[in-house]
Amino acid sequence: MNQINNSTLTFQCETGNYHTFCPISCVAWLYQKIEDSFFLVIGTKTCGYFLQNSMGVMIFAEPRYAMAELEEGDISAQINDYEELKRLCTQIKNDRNPSVIVFIGTCTTEIIKMDLEGIAPKLEAEIGIPIVVARANGLDYTFTQGEDTVLASLIQRCPSKDRETEKINKNNSSLFPSLSIFSKNKNESNLSQDKPNLPLVLFGSLPNSLTNQLEHELEKQNIKISGWLPTKNYKELPVIHEGDYVCGVNPYLARTATNLIRRRKCKLISAPFPIGPDGTRAWIEKICSIFNIEPTGLDEREKAVWDSLENYLPLVKGKSVFFMGDNLLELSIARFLIRCGMIVPEIGIPYLHKRYQEAEIKLLEDTCRKMQVPTPLIIEKPDNYEELKRIEQYRPDLVITGMANANPLEARGINTKWSVEFTFAQIHGFSNARDILELVTRSLRRKNYIQQLGWKELVE
């Protein structure tokens, strides 16, 4: 296909006729991450039906999200939007009492031009709960970009003065300071004396165990970050000063990055994303280089991870993998898989922010050169129909795709891996490289058993 050692990647753009999740699906993981939040999706039955079905069993666990279902009267503006939202928010306040309500604007609110940004501050003053507006609609965004819009809106809620010092002042001035809080603060200040917080804020929603792991990795290099966006609680959003450094952990957060640069005057560290041991190492090295720290022990650390993967690597070596594209993680995962010895003919991706992903793109090119494999063709806004034709022609060993195409492809004798799993599985950091390969090799391993049975294609 492409020339080996062709040093630059080829970018193409197709029609954008591809399957993906609606960006409102971000409420599924964000309400779990921000524990005192409530997500109100203002949309139609279509949005509700999608969430209800895509979230699976989560829907039965009294999730902290709801639909504000628009009816015919809302669409034709016979009913006052403000009054309606006020009624619903009051109900939410009484039932759940969250620290923040996030309005998720949808396609419908865009089309009928409902002024959510205008309504929110008024409503916020009236009911006394912060209201954040994120327009995560399918007109503009794809799947994981939903998180991007929410985080971008949360930025302006991040305090710029140090809350910690405020709290201590308050405690001191209070007559009866709570002993536990006092001592805790003391401990914390002791700790931070050991390792002073660097002006570095990481952004991207990850499960708490993962944020701890990544923070720990940085602490080993004597880097203590000053905050993480988003936090476990809305009330603990990180302090962002002008001139702070920020660094993303996920490839789909371009808007958040832009907002941090433009609105909060932060400096973006453009690094590859900490997915796979190679990515994690490059991520840490880049952060270290910004703070003039000589990274230590990364060589051994990375080698140990690769060694631990030795059972998986023979399975993937020399196999080809095709990304149909739907969640913007494609580039990072492809780069890791190429490093594992796989061949990637094509990477479909919904949207590529070349500046935000600059370092990742570079690492991908370097990896291709290092592994002596052809550089993949990168297709933005892919066309599923055309992709399927190319898959049929190329017959890759594995296709990473959405559920809409997975079963039909399997029936045609092509191994698939459901791409959404990469969004929900823990794939960041050194120790989770194994999980990525576990996902990738699952259907390859299954194929080994099944091939003996002789059924390859199951359609006429």
Partner 1 sequence: MKLAYWMYTGPAHIGTLRIASSFKNVHAIMHAPLGDDYFNVMRSMLERERNYTPVTTSVVDRNVLARGSQEKVIDNIIRKDKEEQPDLILLTPTCTSSILQEDLQNFVEQASLNSTADVLLADVNHYRVNELQACDKTLEQIVRFYIEKGKTNFIRENLKTSLPSINLIGISSLGFHNNHDTREFKKLFNDLNIRINCSLPQGTTVKSLTKLPAAWANIVPYRELGVLTSQYLSKQFGLLSLILLPMGNINFNRFVRNLIYNLKVKNNEIKKITNIKLIKLLNLKWIKKESNKTNLKTKKAIIFGSANHVAALTKLLNKEVGLEIILCGTYCKSDSNWFIEQVQNYCTRILVTENHTIISNEISKLKPDIIFGTQMERHIGKRLGIACGVISSPIHIQNFPLSYKPMIGYEGVKTIMDLLFNTLNLKDRKTSFMLFKDTI
* Interacting residue ranges for partner 1, rule: CB under 8 A: 16-17, 19-24, 42, 44-46, 48-50, 52-54, 59-60, 63, 66-72, 74-75, 79, 84-85, 87-88, 91-92, 106-108, 110-112, 137-140, 142-143, 385, 388, 402-408, 411, 458-459
Q: Give the nearer residue to partner 1 in terms of CB position, either 367 or 419.
A: 419
CB of 89 to partner 1, least distance (A): 10
Q: Give the nearer residue to partner 1 in terms of CB position, either 75 or 315.
A: 75
Amino acid code (one letter) for 209: S
State CA 399 to chain mean position distance: 21
Is residue 266 within 8 A of residue 243, CB to CB? The reply is yes
State CA 70 to chain mean position distance: 29
What is the rounded CA–CA span in Å between residue 153 and residue 42? 16
What is the rounded CA–CA span in Å between residue 415 and residue 53? 25
Q: Give the nearer residue to partner 1 in terms of CB position, either 142 or 231.
A: 142
Nearest residue to 21 (alpha-carbon basis) of 145, 141, 143: 143
3-state secondary structure of 66: strand
Q: Give the nearer residue to partner 1 in terms of CB position, either 117 or 219.
A: 117
Q: Is 247 annotated as a binding residue?
A: no
Q: Give the nearer residue to partner 1 in terms of CB position, either 124 or 410.
A: 410
Amino acid code (one letter) for 62: E
CB of 40 to partner 1, least distance (A): 8
CB of 354 to partner 1, least distance (A): 20
What is the rounded CA–CA span in Å between residue 56 and residue 288? 41
Q: CB count, 10 Å around CB of 446?
A: 12
CB of 17 to partner 1, least distance (A): 6
CB of 157 to partner 1, least distance (A): 24
Q: Is 22 annotated as a binding residue?
A: yes
CB of 81 to partner 1, least distance (A): 8
Q: What is the dihedral of CA 55, 56, 62, 65, to 10 degrees?
A: 10
Adjacent-strand bridge partners of 11: 378
Q: Give the nearer residue to partner 1 in terms of CB position, either 13 or 411.
A: 411
What is the rounded CA–CA span in Å between residue 263 and residue 155? 9
Q: Is 13 annotated as a binding residue?
A: no
CB of 92 to partner 1, least distance (A): 8
Q: Give the nearer residue to partner 1 in terms of CB position, either 51 or 237.
A: 51
Those residues whose C-beta lies under 8 Å from the C-beta of residue 301, and which sit 6 or more positions away, are 277, 281, 430
What is the rounded CA–CA span in Å between residue 362 and residue 356? 12
What is the rounded CA–CA span in Å between residue 160 and residue 309? 43
Residue ranges of the binding site: 22, 47, 107
Residue ranges of the binding site for [4Fe-4S] cluster: 22, 47, 107
